[in-house]
Amino acid sequence: MIIGIKDGIKLVGVIIVCFCAVFVCTFFLNFYFDAIAVSGEVSIEMRPLYDAQLATAQLVCAIAGGFLSVIAVVMLVFYIKLFIDGNAKRFGLLKAMGYSSAKISLAFWVFGLAVFAGALAGLCVGYAVMPVIYDALTVDGLDIAIGFHAWLPVALVLAPTGCFCAFACGYARFALRRNAVIMLKGGSGVTRVKKVSTNAVQFLTDMRRGVLRSKKSAVFFVAFACFCFSAMVQMGLSMRDLGSVTMGVIIFIIGVVLSVVAMIMAVTTVVNGNLRNIALMRAFGYSQKERAVAVLAGYIPFAVSGFAVGTVYQYALLKIMVSVIFADIGQTLEYSFDVPIFFVTLAAFVAAYATAMFVYVRKINAVSVRSAMLQD
Amino acid sequence: MITARDVYKSYGATQVLNGVSVDVADGELAVILGASGSGKSTLLSVLSGLERADKGSVVCDGRELSSLTEKQLTEFRRRTVGFVFQQYYLLGHLSVESNVRLGADLVGNKNFRDEIAAVGLADKLKAKPSELSGGEQQRVCIARALAKQPRVLFLDEPTGALDEATGRSVLDYILKLKAERGFTAVMVTHNRNIAETADKVITVNSGLVTDVTQVALPKNAYEIGW
């Protein structure tokens, strides 16, 4: 087998994102269809709150399902590209022996197993917490019983798994369209002609830029991690003012988990991809600080931007939810930007980011010249 | 310039150096000659401060390396030594110029383009390593190492990955630049012919120095066999 099952199910990032997406969609979709089934029993007084709950379920499913699916696709592309780059010699050898890109790419279906694992776990946990969610979403005077909808496992687990397996094969086929000889030499085979500045740039500046350019997907995931942390932590904490502590806790936890996973994935990739460069800088006498700055400092502006966009996003989303969804409810809900929560989140963000960087700086400083050079 | 006494080094249960003692004089080209697994590359790592000896003394440019803290050792490498590796280890995403600046910026050398010209690559300043031949890449490594104006240049099998013609050319650059600038050089090789270009040949076997020969009349890169 060209790619082992183990390779397919160790995509922790994809598993966690799929878990989160399916977890949220499971109980909201289940609630939505159980609530629809009793719509004839809804009195005129209950109608606004009932409609609001249905609208919330639809909106959350659309946002969580849609947004997280896109993230899962991006992560899958990221993993497959890394896998092909890391095993370029192996795939180059197969191509040299006569295997076509199409034939090799069929083996990448195993990457869809990560989606299956995450989705199945999300579905199971979603069903497990359903009573708690139904309590939180209850409409006084209306009895909405938990029903089982057999098509949910199909729609949330089997169908996405099939789609992602097909997507993994398709993307792999595209990514494998490289010259076999170049792959045998371990190269990506992608040569881009860039505009070259005539100004001589300091090495450390050039190195910092080069690290960013060589791992653009890591830039995305660092920004995404900070966006998730900012948006979902602030949103989770703000939800207590909007009367849904349970939903607040769920959003908070999902936000923290997603941001931690995305950050670990991005920075680990960057550091591992630069081990030899770090070792070389060490051999030449660059200090610990210089080595860490060259590899990690370039991501700070993107982290801050992610946090800022997340803050604006959560404010706009909550404002829209309050003004549109709850507009028809008798009680008036007011939502304004929560400054204390913003500063608490900012402080937590700075502390978490600094801690993550500290951990990776230690890892960078532990890179020995011998071990990095012996990778050949 | 370099004095090592009773140096021991092991990796786990594998004893690599078993009490090695060597001397390299100022301005000398010393070749450490040995077969694969003899401990020659480990000896180079220990002499250059890339790794610490488990036991014994290594004095390089007047500094006892075993007594230096990690920070002082980094500073020592920054100020004193340069490296050329068999596998080049160029930064693939940076141009030739930027790769050479890796060395030059450490000592504020503004004339780094002269170093590139000195190895015959003045017209390749903006090229990426992937656009260069093996010999050209190794010449960039030499320029990168010399751009930091080291007092001692350590070379680990610098021609090991090159064919004869390219290897001779690279060796010629090394010998000429050494003669011009007068730095001390320690080169590791398994090729007995290359050893004939040295002032001193230190033969290593099973982690021990088995022979030290002072060469009366070193040959140039085109006079030796290959």
Residue-wise pLDDT tens digits, B11-44: 888 999 999 999 999 999 999 999 988 999 899 9
Residues of A in contact with B188 (CB under 8 A): none
B32-80 pLDDT, tens digit each? 999 988 999 899 999 998 889 999 999 999 999 989 988 888 889 988 9
The Cα B165–Cα B176 span in angstroms is 17
Q: How far is CA A104 from CA A162, A172, B144, in A?
A: 18, 8, 40
Checking if the pLDDT of A342 tops 70, the result is yes
pLDDT digits (tens, 9 = 90+) for A26-77: 988 998 999 888 888 888 877 877 887 787 788 778 877 887 888 888 889 9
* Residue A189 reports pLDDT greater than 60: no
Interface check for A375 against chain B (CB to CB < 8 A): the answer is: no
Which residues, including other chains, have CB under 8 Å from residue B118's CB and lie 6 or more apart?
B143, B146, B173, B177
Core vs surface per residue B67-104: b (16+ CB within 10 A) or e = eeeeeebbebbbbbbbbbbbbbbbbbbbbbbbbbbbbb
Give the range among A261-265, A342-346, A360-364, B31-35 with minimum mean pLDDT. A360-364
Residue A366, SS3 per DSSP: coil
Which one of A196, A276, A284 has the shortest CB-CB distance to B102? A284
Determine the distance in angstroms separating the CA of B203 from the nearest CA of chain A, rounded to an integer. 22
Helix or strand (DSSP H, E) at B59: strand B55-60
Residue A198 — pLDDT band, cuts 50, 70, 90? very low
**B41 or A98: whose pLDDT is higher?**
B41
- So what's the pLDDT on residue A193? 43
Q: How many CB pairs under 8 A join A and B?
A: 78
Token pair 């803050």 in the structure block, residue: A311
pLDDT at residue B21 in the model: 95
Q: How confident is the model at residue B154 (pLDDT cuts 50, 70, 90)?
A: very high
User: What percent of chain B stands above pLDDT 70?
Assistant: 100
Q: What is the pLDDT of residue B100?
A: 93
Query: Is some CB atom of chain B closer than 8 A to the CB atom of A210?
Result: yes
DSSP three-state, residue A244 = coil
Least CB–CB distance from A214: residue in B45, B93, B131:
B93
**Where is B55: in which H helix or E strand?**
strand B55-60
Which of these ranges, A132-136, B31-35, B205-209, has the smallest mean pLDDT? A132-136
Nearest Cβ partner of B91 from A187, A210, A369? Answer: A210
What pLDDT does A174 receive?
92
Residue A170: partners with Cβ closer than 8 Å, 6 or more residues away? A105
What is the CATH T-level fold of the domain B2-214, as seen in this structure?
Rossmann fold (3.40.50)
More confident residue, A236 or A162: A162
* Range from A233-242, A353-362, B169-178, B195-204 carrying the lowest mean pLDDT: A233-242
Residue A358 neighbours by CB under 8 Å, 6+ apart: none
Average of per-residue pLDDT across A124-151: 84
| A206 shares contact with chain B (CB less than 8 Å) | yes
A125 pLDDT tier (thresholds 50, 70, 90):
very high
Q: What is the mean pLDDT of residues A234-239?
A: 85
The pLDDT mean for chain A works out to 83
CB of A39 less than 8 A from some CB of B: no
Distance CA B207, CA B77 (A): 24
Q: What pLDDT, on a 0 to 100 scale, did the predictor assign at position A70?
A: 85
The residue of chain A with its CA nearest to that of B145 is A284
pLDDT of amino acid B208:
94
Whether A122 contacts A69, CB under 8 Å: no
User: What integer is the mean pLDDT of A104-127?
Assistant: 92
Q: Quote the pLDDT of residue A42.
A: 81
A189 in contact with B at a CB cutoff of 8 Å?
no
Query: Do the chains contact at A203 and B83, CB–CB below 8 Å?
Result: no
Q: Is B98 in contact with A284 (Cβ distance < 8 A)?
A: no
- CB atoms inside a 10 Å sphere around CB A66: 11
User: Which of B74, B98, B126 minimises the CB distance to A203?
Assistant: B98
Model pLDDT, residue A195: 47
Residue of A nearest to B11 (CA): A370
- Terminus-to-terminus CA distance in chain A, angstroms? 24
Q: Is A283 on the interface with B (CB under 8 A)?
A: yes
8-state DSSP, A21: H
- Judge whether residue B5 has pLDDT over 50: yes
**Interface pTM (ipTM) of the complex?**
0.81
Q: Is A371 on the interface with B (CB under 8 A)?
A: no
Share the mean pLDDT of chain B.
91
Q: What is the DSSP string of A116-151?
A: HHHHHHHHHHHHHTHHHHHHHH--TT--------TH
Of B23, B24, B18, B25, which Cα lies nearest the Cα of B56?
Answer: B18
- pLDDT at residue A368 greater than cutoff 90: no
Inter-chain touch A206–B75, beta carbons under 8 Å:
no
The whole-angstrom distance between A181's CA and the closest CA on chain B is: 13
Mean pLDDT in residue range A317-344: 76
Task: Specify the pLDDT at position B194.
Answer: 92
Q: Output the pLDDT for position A196.
A: 46
Place of tokens 């249960």: B13
* Distance (Å) of CA A95 to CA A2, A91, A181, A182, A185: 12, 6, 9, 11, 13
Answer yes or no: do B103 and A287 touch at CB < 8 A. Answer: no
pLDDT at B8 over 90: yes
Which chain A residues touch B71 with a CB distance below 8 Å? Answer: 287-288
Q: Which of B11, B86, B93 to mutate to test the interface with A (most CBs of A within 10 A)?
A: B93
Closest chain B residue to A195, measured at CA: B126
A370 touching chain B per CB within 8 A: yes
Q: Do A211 and B77 touch (CB under 8 A)?
A: no
